[in-house]
């Protein structure tokens, strides 16, 4: 028999430990701003690495010509071709293909992997129909490579480490663009890699092609990351010549953000300790799709052990790491049926728990809500931190130029700050991509409403948060265009 009062007490403790009241979120916003500054000042200045993307010219919609993209980020890669027709024509033609990577290649040799990719890309190029026309120019490619890379120019960067199941020691430290280029030569494919970017930056570029007010892109998927458009002269750690545009996209690598204001529970500590990268990616571990499910599993395991929630015997599957996935959490959290059928189904199919009372299922749905809400609210605070960094700098510059009236930066009143700064009445758009945001409506709604709550209703009118799907491929093709030899 479940010890019901103990179970309720444990969930009360969770609610307390996972809570994210407004004052806490405001501290997180402040911490994000402070860490962004610190990471821009010098290499190693913050857990936020604030990597330079070398993207200094974002798509405008004027781009013309034939461009390719290659998106490598997980078990599949996608190839894409676009024929762009400028402001009026926009995307004249578009085709893509998804190729799964044989698992043995993910842990094989460097040459085999890149040969495979180049070969499949070559096959795709060979199928180019009459709707596409390179106009006698060398074909150009945007390469979305969503692994940590130390970028050295718009089209070169050295692999720092593989993640997500790839393990090919030879590649580490190598320039992934020249690896791809030499593989293309071996395959007899003539093509120039014009841009190397990660998925966050590609998403920003993809959204920017349609809307010049996009300043921030956030990935809320298996992992989480963000990038934004920074003034090149606000990056003290950058000592080279300033780009003509005056702007530089910064890949924050915000999954590794940390602040002591973040609510870290015993569950989070255990999850981190058991992970393959303890002490790293602290922000990501609080809410990205890879981890939300396991946080809930750990909470349920505690309820099973300490309150016999599922009977005297603790169901053994509850102890298996990552067996509960975030889509399952979403399914339970979103369960609207009167007897919580969907929750029964998940309990049965995932944990082999064949029967449970409605009362128990209600408690489980509440655990999902507690965990997901904390995550969504923290993600929102991170986004507002970026907005404030952007707006704060604008205000500071504006004041110096005498454009903006008195704004007291020290009063901490975010809403006012952002509201006052809107001298030109333009909106700031945040583009979000990723399965967590796209497919988990309660998570998405909570992110959106928390951003509004943090900004205040008035200032929130100047900020648009929008889902921008699949920007990681198309954005890279746009960037190949905006960094083309033939610009």
Give the interface with ligand ADP as residue ranges (CB under 6 A). 73-74, 221-223, 289-290, 326-327, 330, 434-436, 439-440
The residue among 51 and 407 lying less far from Mg ion, judged by its C-beta, is 51
- Pick between residue 71 and residue 272 the one whose CB is nearest to ligand ADP: 71
Reduced to 3 states, what is the DSSP secondary structure of residue 404?
Answer: coil
Q: Nearest residue to ligand ADP, using CB?
A: 289
Minimal distance, residue 62 CB to ligand ADP, in Å: 29
Closest contact distance (angstroms) between CB of 110 and ligand ADP is 23
The 3-state DSSP class for residue 362 equals helix
Shortest Å distance, C-beta 440 to ligand ADP: 4
Q: In angstroms, give the least distance from the CB of 435 to Mg ion.
A: 8
What is the rounded end-to-end Cα distance, in angstroms, of the chain? 72
In the complex, minimum distance from the CB of residue 253 to Mg ion, in angstroms, rounded to a whole number: 15
327 binds, among ligand ADP, Mg ion, none (CB under 5 to 8 A by kind): ligand ADP
Order of strands, edge to edge, in the sheet holding 191-197? 91-100, 76-85, 64-72, 139-145, 191-197
Q: From residue 185 to residue 224, what is the string marking binding to Mg ion with x (rule CB under 5 A)?
A: --------------x---------------------x---
Q: Length of the chain, please?
A: 487
CB of residue 219 to Mg ion, shortest distance in Å = 6
- Among 308, 420, 275, 352, residue whose Cα is nearest residue 10: 308
**Structure tokens that stand for 146 in this block:** 């969503």
Q: Which is closer to ligand ADP, CB of 56 or CB of 342?
A: 342
H or E element that contains 343 = helix 341-351
Q: Which does 263 bind (CB under 5 to 8 A by kind): ligand ADP, Mg ion, none?
A: none
Q: 59 touches which of ligand ADP, Mg ion, none (CB within 5 to 8 A by kind)?
A: none
Closer residue to Mg ion, CB minimum distance, 206 or 221: 221
The partner residues of 247 in beta bridges, in order of sequence, read 231
Query: Who's near 428: CB < 8 A, 6+ residues apart?
Result: 213, 215, 216, 387, 390, 391, 462, 463, 464
Q: How far apart are CA 339 and CA 357, in angstroms?
A: 9
Residues 126-158, buried b or exposed e (16+ Cβ, 10 A)? eebeeebebeeeebbbbbbbbbbbebeebbbbb
Minimum CB distance to Mg ion smaller for 217 or for 360: 217
Which of Mg ion, ligand ADP, none has residue 398 at its interface (CB below 5 to 8 Å by kind)? Answer: none
Run of H or E residues at 197? strand 191-197
Considering only CA atoms, which of 27, 52, 29, 28 is closest in space to residue 39? 52
Residue (134 or 327) nearer to ligand ADP, CB: 327
Nearer to ligand ADP, 6 or 164 (CB): 164
User: Given the rule CB under 5 A, which residues bind Mg ion?
Assistant: 199, 221
């Amino acid at each position: 028999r479940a010890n019901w009062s103990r179970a309720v007490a444990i969930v009360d403790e969770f609610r307390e430990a996972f809570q994210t009241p407004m004052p806490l979120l405001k501290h997180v916003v402040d911490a994000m701003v402070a860490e962004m500054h610190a990471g821009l000042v010098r290499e190693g200045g913050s857990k936020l690495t604030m990597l330079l993307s070398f993207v200094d010219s974002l798509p405008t919609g004027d781009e013309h010509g034939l461009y390719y993209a290659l998106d490598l980020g997980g078990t599949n890669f996608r190839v894409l071709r676009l024929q762009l027709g400028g402001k009026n024509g926009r995307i004249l033609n578009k085709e893509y293909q998804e190729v799964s990577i044989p698992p043995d290649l993910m842990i094989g040799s460097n040459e085999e992997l890149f040969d495979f990719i180049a070969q499949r890309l070559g096959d795709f190029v060979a199928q180019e129909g009459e709707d596409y026309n390179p106009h006698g120019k060398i074909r150009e490619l945007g390469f979305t490579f969503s692994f940590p890379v130390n970028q050295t120019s718009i089209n070169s960067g050295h692999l720092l480490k593989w993640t997500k199941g790839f393990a090919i020691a030879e590649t580490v430290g190598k320039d992934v663009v020249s690896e791809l280029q030499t593989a293309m030569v071996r395959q007899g494919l003539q093509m120039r890699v014009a841009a190397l970017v990660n998925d966050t930056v590609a998403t920003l570029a993809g959204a920017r092609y349609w809307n010049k007010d996009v300043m921030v892109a956030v990935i809320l998927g298996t992992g989480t990351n963000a990038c934004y458009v920074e003034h090149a002269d606000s990056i003290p750690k950058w000592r080279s010549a300033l780009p003509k545009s005056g702007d530089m996209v910064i890949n924050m690598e915000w999954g590794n953000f940390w602040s002591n204001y973040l609510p870290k529970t015993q569950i989070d500590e255990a999850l981190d300790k058991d992970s393959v990268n303890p002490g790293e990616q602290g922000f990501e571990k609080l809410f990205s799709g890879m981890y939300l499910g396991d946080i809930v599993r750990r909470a349920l395991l505690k309820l099973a052990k300490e309150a016999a929630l599922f009977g005297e015997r603790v169901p053994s599957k509850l102890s298996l790491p990552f067996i509960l996935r975030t889509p399952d959490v979403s399914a339970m959290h979103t369960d609207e049926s009167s007897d919580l059928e969907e929750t029964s189904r998940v309990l049965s199919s995932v944990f082999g728990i064949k029967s449970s009372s409605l009362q128990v299922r209600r408690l489980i749905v509440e655990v999902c809500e507690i965990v997901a809400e904390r995550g969504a609210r923290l993600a929102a605070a991170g986004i507002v931190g970026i907005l404030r960094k952007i707006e704060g700098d604008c205000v500071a510059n504006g004041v110096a130029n005498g454009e903006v009236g008195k704004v007291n930066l020290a009063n901490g009143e975010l809403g006012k700050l952002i509201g006052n700064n809107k001298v030109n009445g333009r909106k700031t758009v945040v583009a979000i991509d990723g399965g967590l945001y796209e497919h988990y409506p309660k998570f998405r709604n909570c992110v959106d409403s928390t951003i509004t709550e943090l900004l205040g209703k008035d200032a929130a009118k100047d900020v648009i948060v929008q889902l921008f799907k699949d920007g990681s491929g198309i954005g890279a093709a746009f960037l190949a265009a905006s960094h083309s030899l033939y610009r």
